[in-house]
Amino acid sequence: MKVAFYAMLKNEQSIAPAFSEMLNEFADYIYLVDHESTDDTFNIIKNKTRKAKIYKLTSNRYPQSELSNFFARLIFAETDADFLFFLDADEFISFNTKQDLHTFLVSNADFHAIQVPWNNLSLKGDSFDGGFTSMGPSKNYSKIILSRSIRNISDYKISQGNHSIVSNRCSLRINNQKDVHLFHIPILSYTNLLIKLLNGIRSLENDATNKILNNGYHWYDIAKRVTTETLSQDQLNDIIYHYSDSIPEATKVEDLDFNFPYIKTRTLPAMCIDNLLLSYLADIVDTNSKNASPKNIDIMIRNDKDEVIYLKNRKVVAVFLRVIYYRLKLILPQPIKRLARKLVGQRC
């Protein structure tokens, strides 16, 4: 049994050490994409994550879905991985040992994909030793794990956020898992929340497709709250438990009965305001520097040899067609759907 993990990261230096240690414990193959981090995220993951292939993404927007679909096919082509996890740096699996993980995956070998519900956690102190509180798994938000059998489905598409997977031509076998959770620590501190909002909203402002489709709208909702009121710890916890419009299964808050035994770097230092401002300023300087990427570049991925392995230029007409297609695909007749898929590049 071989397991691969894929993640995009940006300015996650506080949690990157713990995330790297989880990958080292459970992964046979690791593919990481650094999205122009302006803090120490890239160096941390490079030094702490063994056997990782680390790529650099250049993009003014947040092309998560495009990259997930590209790397899913690349990883299954380059490796003999039986399963592929899609995680963010603030997401952790709920298994004590690698054997426990393998037992779970073997029991799901007949599925194309597994959907594991989010369990949003609030940090009680400043370390994993301090424990977490939770309102239980989400009723409406999951993250996917792909089985190698998905290679037989040529047109599969992973959604923004890696929450779901669909195929227009085939019926996918998906196990909507309830007993196993994916622990999500979306906010380490109030300062960490501000960093997420700055990065998220800035990316969306440059991303016409996701903005029109309302992907990432929760960042705007949260930003409105933090700019119009002073949040108490209980209010901050409420944002955490309901992060991205997640609906918790439980109605009361309870302590989490899991201590993350695979993590050795237990402390999670919070960023100070100076770090936040420097990170944001560095991002602006990079974007507007003389060495910045040409403005016609939409997505560029480079490997550790600085070779471009994926390049996509900006095409206003293609973006418009893609938005129209996603908006209307539920009501379009099948012949028009096939034509629309060709126009937006979704060939099976």
Q: What does the pLDDT look like over 234-256, one tens digit per residue? A: 999 999 999 988 999 999 999 99
Q: Residue 78 is part of which domain span?
A: 1-314
Same domain? For 280 and 340 the reply is: no
Same domain? For 310 and 334 the reply is: no
203 pLDDT more than 90 = no
- Give the CATH number for residue 273: 3.90.550
pLDDT in tens, 114-158: 999 999 999 999 899 999 999 999 999 999 999 999 999 999 999
Same domain? For 333 and 190 the reply is: no
Q: What is the pLDDT of residue 345?
A: 45
297 pLDDT more than 60 = yes
Number of domains making up the chain: 2
Q: What is the pLDDT of residue 212?
A: 64
* Residue tagged 């230092």 (tokens): 269
Least trusted range by pLDDT, from 78-87, 217-226, 287-296:
287-296
Phi/psi for 108 (5° steps) reads -115, 20
Residue type, 222: I
Same domain? For 186 and 55 the reply is: yes
- Confidence band, pLDDT 50/70/90 cuts, at residue 347: very low
Same domain? For 91 and 223 the reply is: yes
Q: What is the pLDDT of residue 57?
A: 95
318 pLDDT more than 60 = no
Same domain? For 279 and 331 the reply is: no
Mean pLDDT comparison of 193-202, 270-279, 304-313, highest-scoring range:
304-313
Least trusted range by pLDDT, from 63-67, 84-88, 264-268, 332-336:
332-336
348 pLDDT more than 90 = no
**8 Å CB contact between 139 and 199:** no
Same domain? For 230 and 288 the reply is: yes
What is the rounded average pLDDT for all residues in the chain?
86
Same domain? For 325 and 219 the reply is: no
Prediction pTM value: 0.84
Sign of the alpha-carbon torsion through 280, 127, 249, 85? positive
Same domain? For 192 and 337 the reply is: no
Higher pLDDT, 191 or 159: 159
* Token duo for residue 238: 């409420």
* Token duo for residue 101: 């993980």
Least trusted range by pLDDT, from 101-105, 186-190, 262-266:
186-190
Same domain? For 192 and 52 the reply is: yes
CA–CA separation, 29 vs 94, rounded Å?
19
Same domain? For 277 and 191 the reply is: yes
Same domain? For 142 and 50 the reply is: yes
